[in-house]
Structure 1
Amino acid sequence: MTEQTMSPARPSAPAGTGLPRHAVSLASWRRGDYERVWERAEWMLGSSTETLARTAPGTLLGVLFYQNSTRTRLSFEVAARRIGGSSVGFSDATTTRAGDFYRESLEDTVRVVGSYTDVLALRHTDDDAAERAAAVSPVPVISAGTGDREHPTQAMLDLWVLRSKLGNLTGVTVGYVGDPACRYARSLVHGLAAFNAAGIVFLSPDGAKVPGDVQRTLARAGMTRRTAGSATELLRGVDAVTIIPFELSDFHESAVRSHSRSARLDERFVFDGALLSRTGTGVPVVHTGPRGPELPPETDDVPNVHYFEGVTKGVYLRAALLAELLAEHRRR
Structure 2
Amino acid sequence: MTRNVLDTTPVGAFPSDAASSHDWQRDDLLRLFGRADWLTRQPRHRLAKLAPNATVGLLFYQNSTRTRISFQAATCLLGGRYIGFDSAATTRAGDFFQETLEDTVRVVGGYADLLVLRHVDDDAAQRAAAVAGVPVVNAGSGESDHPTQGMLDTWMMRRSLGDLAGARIGFVGDPGCRALRADVATVAKFGPAEIVFLTPEDAPPSPEQCASLTAQGIRHSTVDSMAELVRRTDVIAMIPFELPDFHVATAQERRSGNLATRYRLTRRLLEGAGRHVTVLHTGPRGEELPAEVDGLPNVRYFEGVRGGMFLRAALMHVLWEGRGIPVSDVDELEG
Q: TM-score range by the shorter chain?
A: over 0.9
* One-letter identity of the residue aligned with 2:189: A
TM-score (normalizing by structure 1)? 0.94
Shift of 1:15: 6.2
Whole-angstrom CA distance in 2 between matches of 1:112 and 1:153: 24
- CA 15–247 in structure 1, closer or farther in 2 if over 3 Å, else same: closer
SS in 1 for 2:233: coil
* One-letter identity of the residue aligned with 1:38: F
SS in 2 for 1:236: helix
Correspondence 1:179 to 2:174: yes
- Tell me if structure 2 keeps the 8 A contact 1:10–1:40: no
Whole-angstrom CA distance in 1 between matches of 2:262 and 2:198: 9
Shift of 1:261: 1.6
Shift of 1:213: 3.0
Percentage identity across aligned positions?
48
Correspondence 1:45 to 2:40: yes
Correspondence 1:291 to 2:285: yes
Whole-angstrom CA distance in 1 between matches of 2:18 and 2:33: 14
Aligned counterpart in structure 2 of residue 28 of structure 1, from 19, 23, 35: 23
Q: What whole-Å deviation, never above 9, does each CA across 1:141-181 have from its counterpart, x for those lacking one?
A: 00001001111111111111111111111121211101111
* One-letter identity of the residue aligned with 2:264: V
- Tell me if structure 2 keeps the 8 A contact 1:53–1:84: yes
Aligned 1:64-75 pairs, distance under 5 A: 64-75=59-70
- Tell me if structure 2 keeps the 8 A contact 1:189–1:217: no
- Tell me if structure 2 keeps the 8 A contact 1:178–1:204: yes
Whole-angstrom CA distance in 1 between matches of 2:12 and 2:320: 15
Name the structure 1 match of 2:216: 221
SS in 1 for 2:22: coil
- CA 165–16 in structure 1, closer or farther in 2 if over 3 Å, else same: closer
Name the structure 2 match of 1:138: 133
* One-letter identity of the residue aligned with 2:144: R
* One-letter identity of the residue aligned with 2:304: G
Correspondence 1:282 to 2:276: yes
Shift of 1:227: 0.5
Correspondence 1:205 to 2:200: yes
Aligned 1:253-272 pairs, distance under 5 A: 253-257=248-252, 259-272=253-266
* One-letter identity of the residue aligned with 2:275: T
* One-letter identity of the residue aligned with 2:100: S
Whole-angstrom CA distance in 1 between matches of 2:288 and 2:311: 25
Name the structure 2 match of 1:330: 324
Correspondence 1:189 to 2:184: yes
Whole-angstrom CA distance in 2 between matches of 1:13 and 1:225: 30
SS in 2 for 1:326: helix
Whole-angstrom CA distance in 2 between matches of 1:12 and 1:197: 23
* One-letter identity of the residue aligned with 1:198: A
Name the structure 2 match of 1:3: none
Aligned 1:151-162 pairs, distance under 5 A: 151-162=146-157
- Tell me if structure 2 keeps the 8 A contact 1:29–1:194: no
SS in 1 for 2:21: coil
* One-letter identity of the residue aligned with 1:51: R
5+ residue gaps, structure 2? 327-335
Aligned 1:83-122 pairs, distance under 5 A: 83-122=78-117
5+ residue gaps, structure 1? 1-5
Name the structure 2 match of 1:165: 160
- Tell me if structure 1 keeps the 8 A contact 2:7–2:34: no
Q: What whole-Å deviation, never above 9, does each CA across 1:264-307 have from its counterpart, x for those lacking one?
A: 31111000111110112111110000011100111111111100
- CA 16–162 in structure 1, closer or farther in 2 if over 3 Å, else same: closer
TM-score (normalizing by structure 2)? 0.93
Q: What do you get for the CA RMSD once the two structures are aligned?
A: 1.9
Shift of 1:13: 8.4
Shift of 1:10: 7.5
SS in 2 for 1:309: helix
SS in 2 for 1:102: coil
